[in-house]
Amino acid sequence: MKKPEVSIAIPTYNRAHMLPRALESALSQTYKDIEVVVCDDGSTDGTQALLANYRDDRLRVISQPRNVGMFENMNTCLGSARGAYYLMLSDDDFLELICVEALLKPWRKYEGLSMVYGQWWYHGPNGRALQVSAGTEVEGGFSYISAYWQGKRPTILHGVLFRTEDIRRVGGIQPGYAQDTMLTLRMAYEGHVAYVRKAVTNYCLQPGSNTHRVDLFTSIRDMDSLLEMCVSVGRAKGIPRAALCELKRRVYRNLSKSAAAGIVSLVGRGSPRTLALREAYRLRKYLGHNLGLSILAVCLVACIPRGLINILRRARKRLSYLSTERPCRFQD
């Protein structure tokens, strides 16, 4: 059989109620030279019966004989892909119909690319927000990485098109909470990064998802792991030491702000002060990069009434909102 140009992979587990939207968005792409690979990780909720109802030659279903876990299932998708290009879609999200068509265009136009990404819709409790990058049409990998850490390159994994063999060569999907970001940042080092100024996909935040459950310490520690990967690979790729040191310094300053705001928020949201102070101790490595702010945060946690803390939190959010250039638009 002729190999498709693009593989859209959908790893899934017990999401029969959500999978049809994701699957139909993949099969309905305006660009038709695709295959859709669904890897079912031993679902027990009727997923197999659901998939059996689809009659499309471009759909391939791989059934794990037992539940092997998210990362092994993701890499089964990758290992089974036959297309030259690869896009991985979460089973609870969905693509815009022009996604593949739009993301393929830069690959036809430029050489030396490692990835192409586009805009995406974030669907949250307050409606949806269009996540828009400040990136140029094409930029170097380290330029993208540096700007990502400044919040200027919002990227979602199923809004990115890679070469299949490139992902395999760097080791596929690695375990960890932020495996999607780990992959995009790692792949950015492999060449130039292109940006498509169109919304290509939709991310739907689900109540009770892993994103909701991750605690403050784990979240910041995982960001630290991402940073260490960026620095380590950057050294291997010959990025100047001064540029890597500046990246690390800037990110640690931001992590210290996140840690300070996070421990104050714990008290504001009703957690015991002792818990917030324990978190401050666990986060001391990061808080130490901004001692003035850290001391203020600990004093607020230890001494200030919870009601006043929440007033200060709301004021801070309001000031941050007014002073920040936000690369997104909100819609009902």
Tell me the CATH number at 137.
3.90.550.10
**How many CB atoms sit inside 10 A of residue 328's CB?**
14
Buried b or exposed e, range 203-222, using 16+ CB within 10 angstroms: bbeeeeeeeeeeebbebbbb
Residue 283 host element (H or E): none
Using the 3D structure, point to which of 210, 241, 260 is the last residue of a domain: 210
Q: Are 121 and 199 in contact (CB under 8 A)?
A: yes
Q: What is the mean pLDDT of the chain?
A: 88
Instruction: Give the count of alpha carbons within 13 A of 64, CB side only.
Output: 23
Do 100 and 141 share a domain, yes or no? yes
- Which three-class secondary structure string do you get for 227-257? HHHHHHHHHHCCCCHHHHHHHHHHHHHHHHH
Residue 332 lies in a domain: no
Question: In the chain, how many H helices and how many E strands?
Answer: 14, 11
Q: State the DSSP string of 164-205.
A: HHHHHHTTSSPSSTTHHHHHHHHHHTTSEEEEEEEEEEEEEP
Question: Are 70 and 191 part of one and the same domain?
Answer: yes
How far apart (Å, rounded) are the C-alpha atoms in residues 274 and 302?
8
Number of domains in the chain: 2
Residues 105, 187, single domain; the answer is yes
Report yes or no on 331 lying in a domain. Answer: no
Cα atoms in the 13 Å half-sphere on the side-chain side of 124: 9
The answer to whether position 285 is within a domain reads yes
pLDDT of residue 328: 34
Residues 129 and 179 in one domain: yes
- What is the spatial distance between Cα 220 and Cα 254, in angstroms, rounded to a whole number? 10
Cα-based distances in Å from 126 to 17, 204, 332: 23, 12, 8
Cα 74 versus chain centre, distance:
15
Residue 121 in domain? yes
Map residue 112 onto helix, strand or coil.
coil
* Closest to 140 in 3D by CA, of 235, 224, 251, 237: 237
Phi then psi for residue 228, to 5 deg, are -60, -35
Same-domain status, 306 and 175: no
Residue of higher predicted confidence among 137 and 316: 137
pTM: 0.86
Instruction: Based on the fold, state whether residues 67 and 160 are members of the same structural domain.
Output: yes
Which one of 210, 237, 256 terminates a domain? 210
Q: Do 110 and 188 fall within a single domain?
A: yes
Evaluate whether residue 1 is within a structural domain.
no
Q: Give me the domain span that covers residue 265.
A: 216-325
Please check whether residues 190 and 222 belong to one and the same domain: no
Q: Are residues 68 and 120 in the same domain?
A: yes
Q: What are the pLDDT digits (tens) for 38-61?
A: 999 999 999 999 999 999 999 999
The predicted model gives 125-134 an average pLDDT of 92
Q: What is the pLDDT of residues 190-222, one digit of tens each?
A: 999 999 999 999 999 877 555 555 688 888 999
Judged against a pLDDT cut of 80, whether residue 243 lies above it is answered with yes
Task: Check whether residue 194 and residue 53 sit in a common domain.
Answer: yes
pLDDT tens, residue by residue, 246-271 = 999 999 999 998 888 888 888 877 88
Residue 125 pLDDT grade (very low, low, confident, very high; cuts 50, 70, 90): confident
Task: Note whether 144 and 244 are same-domain residues.
Answer: no
Q: Examine the fold and report which residue of 162, 182, 210 is the final residue of a domain before the chain moves on.
A: 210
